[in-house]
Amino acid sequence: MKNKKFILIILAVFSMFTYFGEPLSTNILAQENEQTRGLKPIEYAQYLPKKYANKRPKKKKITPKQVKLPVYKYKVDNNQELTVFEGTEIGVTIWRLREVTTAEKVNSKVVENTRILKRVKGQSSEVVTRVIPERISSNTELIDGDIIRLAIEVPTEGYVYIISQELYINGKYSDPYLVFPSRRDLGKTDRISSGKLLFLPSDEDHFEISSLKETSTKIVEEVFTIVVSQEPLRELLPLESDEPRKLSLGDFEQWKKMWGGEVFKFEQETTAKLAITQVEKASSSSGSLSLSDTDLLPQTIYHVANGKEKALLFTTGIKIKR
């Protein structure tokens, strides 16, 4: 009788650990998936901040000096009447690198010294200046000379591929080019995991906006197609150098059919114009820190519902003022 009682006590203790220990996060996610199943996007957006944060590593210890997070408010940017089916959330944040004013008091660890092209009275010259990455909405229209950097966050471990196209004022697209990864990225920044940010073109480099590049037709948007795969894709071999590689348009269209799906875009209304935090800057795919469930969420979250394909695909863009 005593042995039976002892066994019951052990089972009770074990069940407590199962409920309050590691499997609890699984239980929470299962409950959230149940809560969000079959919702319209505007309803889904209410659950999105908590659901996204729960997929990040948990903060081990919250200090009294923990930065107070904003009240998140994600608005639906498209497909408002469709039902949100089960899928994967990918975070994208665009950072505009703006000059630091002399009157500003900012964290020196997030300020960068970078070379930018300045145009004064028709003359161009390259100068070194102090800049700070600042969030902008994905709908912000940028102008010639703006310098930016992208950050991509995926909820699980995977391989990331970036294909770039230009959208012209006449509605036509340029040929697709693979721009990431190159061979020098292999084993370093091509594989990303939860809580890590993949900065593009890199942690230190930036894109400079130009509405006219190698063509006289005005560019209105730089379009990035992002592919995330559980395994390396033989269809997208890495670049031999940093020089982009032109892809077959037929293959590209086929990949969009295979790996694409219904995409819902959720844009954060309360965090635009916030400067990058020290944790965000140090949580690059090659950095030492990771974002936790208590750190700022991405500016834009894409929900990709594409079934159980080996890869998922969606597009995001950088708008250029006409």
Question: Using an 8 Å Cβ cutoff, are 275 and 195 in contact?
Answer: no
Q: Which residues of 244-273 are buried (b: 16+ CB within 10 A; e: fewer)?
A: bbebeeeebeebbeebbbebbbbbbeebbe
133 cis-preceded (ω within 30 degrees of 0): no
How many angstroms separate the Cα of 28 from the Cα of each of 50, 233, 239?
10, 32, 41
Which residue range is the domain that position 97 belongs to? 38-101+133-320
Structural domain contains residue 14: no
- Supply the pLDDT for residue 67: 56
Q: Is 167 part of a structural domain of the chain? A: yes
**What are the tens digits of pLDDT across the range 128-161?**
788 889 999 999 999 988 999 999 999 888 899 9
The verdict on residue 250 lying in a domain is yes
Residue 15 is predicted with a pLDDT of 35
CA–CA gap between residue 133 and residue 99 (Å, rounded): 9
Query: Within a domain: residue 126?
Result: no
| pTM confidence score | 0.81
Q: How many Å apart are CA 260 and CA 229, to the nearest integer?
A: 12
The answer to the question of residue 232 being in a domain is yes
Total domain count for the chain? 1
How confident is the model at residue 32, as a pLDDT?
58
Report the pLDDT value the prediction gives residue 250, as an integer from 0 to 100.
96
What are the two backbone dihedrals, phi and then psi, of residue 8, each rounded to the nearest 5 degrees?
A: -60, -40
Q: Which among 186, 184, 199, 196 has a CA at the least distance from the CA of 157? A: 196
What CA–CA distance (Å, rounded) separates 37 from 85? 7
pLDDT attached to residue 217: 83
* Residue whose entry in the numeric block shows the structure tokens 């970036």: 162
Q: Which residues of the chain have pLDDT under 50?
A: 1-29, 64, 120-121
Instruction: Tell me, yes or no, whether 277 lies in a domain.
Output: yes
For position 265, what pLDDT does the model report? 95
Token reading at 316: 């995001």
Please name which of 235, 207, 231, 211 lies closest in space to residue 150, comparing C-alpha atoms.
207
User: Dihedrals φ, ψ of 35, to 5°?
Assistant: -65, -35
In a domain, 259, yes or no: yes
Q: What is the pLDDT of residue 101?
A: 78
Residue 209 makes CB contacts below 8 A (sequence gap 6+) with 142, 143, 144, 145, 146, 147, 148, 222, 318, 320
